[in-house]
Amino acid sequence: MSAAGSRTAWLVTGARGQLGRDLLDHLSRRDGDVVTAVGRAEVDLTDEASVRGAVRGWVASAAADRLVLVNAAAYTAVDAAETDEGTALIVNGHAPGWLAEEVAGHGRLVHVSTDYVFDGTATEPYPVDAPVAPRSAYGRTKAAGEAAVAAVDADASVVRTAWVHSRHGGNFVATMTSLEGQRETVSVVDDQVGSPTWSWDLAGGLVALGAATRAVPPLLHYTDEGQVSWHGLAQAVFEELGADPARVLPTTSADFVRPAPRPAWSVLDGSTWDAAGLLARRGWRTALAEAMQAGPRG
C-alpha cells in the first residue's frame, strides 16, 4: 500500500522478463500508484536516444508525489556475451548510466546487478564492498553498469542478486522440473555454490526499496537466505516433486565446460540489506517450496 495521501509513479524496464513480471504483480497491489511497464518493443536499450526519450517522457507525464524507476532489463545471455560483448556492454553497462542521468533530480533508480561481478573464488559470503573482479564478459558489462550508476549524482541503489528462479520463464528450477519427467537420472554440478532466490521475493524487496521514503544505501545484496550447490538445489526440486533426490547425480564443472566461466562461489552477504530495515529475507528452501506449489505461469 502507498503512504496515506501519496502517489508514486513507477517505471519498470524489462517488464516482460521473469523478474519484471513479478515486479508488476507486486506493484498492482499498491493502491493509488501508477505503473508504466516497458520492454524491448517500447525501449531499445542499445539506443541512447530511445532510452533517454522514454525516461524523459515518463518524467514529464507522471502526475505523482514520487517517481521510482526499477531497471530489471539486462543482456542476460551469459555465454552469448562472450562473443557479443559490445552489445552486452551497451545494454548492461551504458544504459544504466543513461537511466540514472535522466532520473536524477526527479526520482529514485533501483538497478539490478549480479554476483558475476565477483571472481567466485571466495569461501565466505561476499560483502557489498568486496573487490569487483569479473571473469566473464557478462560480469564485466554488469560491473560497468554498476560504475555508470555510481558515477551519477542521483538517488540510486544497485542491488546485486544471484541464482534467480521464477514461476515463469526459463531458469534452473524450471529446467530441473522438466527433466525430472523426462530422464531417469540427471547430472548436476556440485562444485558451484550460491543462494537460490525466488524472483517473487526479489521483486518484493525491490519494490520495498523503491517505496522507502528515507535514504537508502547505494549498494545492496538481496538473495534468499542460505546456500546450496546446484546439485543440492536440483535434489530439492526433485523432493518437491515427490521424486527420489538420489536420481540427481553429482558432477563437476569440468564436465560441463561453457563459453563463459561460472562462479564457483556466488553467496552474497545480505547484512547491509537486513540492516536497512527493508523487506525481511527468508530461507531459499521455504521460498522454493512456495514457488513450486504455486506452479508455473503462462
Q: What is the pLDDT of residue 297?
A: 55
Average of per-residue pLDDT across 50-76:
97
Does the structure show a pLDDT above 60 at 207?
A: yes
Share of the chain above pLDDT 70, in %: 97
Amino acid at site 66:
R
Smallest CA-to-CA distance from 11 within 114, 109, 92 is with 109
End-to-end CA distance of the chain: 26
Average of per-residue pLDDT across 29-58:
96
Higher pLDDT, 2 or 38: 38
Smallest CA-to-CA distance from 177 within 129, 242, 125, 273 is with 242
pTM value is 0.96
Q: Which three cell numbers stand for residue 122?
A: 571466495
Q: Which three cell numbers stand for residue 149?
A: 550508476
Grade residue 225 by pLDDT with cuts at 50, 70 and 90.
Answer: very high
For the stretch 64-86, pLDDT in tens is 999 999 999 999 999 999 999 99
For the stretch 249-282, pLDDT in tens is 999 999 989 999 999 999 999 999 999 999 999 9
Least confident of 24-28, 38-42, 111-115, 294-298: 294-298
Active site includes 138? yes
Q: What is the pLDDT of residue 298?
A: 44
For the stretch 137-194, pLDDT in tens is 999 999 999 999 999 999 999 999 999 999 888 899 999 999 999 999 999 999 999 9
For the stretch 228-247, pLDDT in tens is 999 999 999 999 999 999 99
Residues 6 or more apart from 210 whose CB is under 8 A from it?
A: 8, 10, 68, 70, 108, 110
Does the structure show a pLDDT above 70 at 3?
A: no
Least confident of 130-134, 136-140, 293-297: 293-297
Catalytic residue among 75, 116, 126, 138: 138
Distance CA 282, CA 290 (A): 12
Q: What is the pLDDT of residue 169?
A: 80
Q: Which three cell numbers stand for residue 150?
A: 555510481
Does the structure show a pLDDT above 70 at 1?
A: no
Q: What is the pLDDT of residue 6?
A: 82
Task: Identify the structural domains of the chain with CATH numbers, from first to last.
Answer: 8-170+196-224+267-282 (3.40.50.720)
Does the structure show a pLDDT above 80 at 4?
A: no
Q: Which three cell numbers stand for residue 213?
A: 521514503
Amino acid at site 74:
A
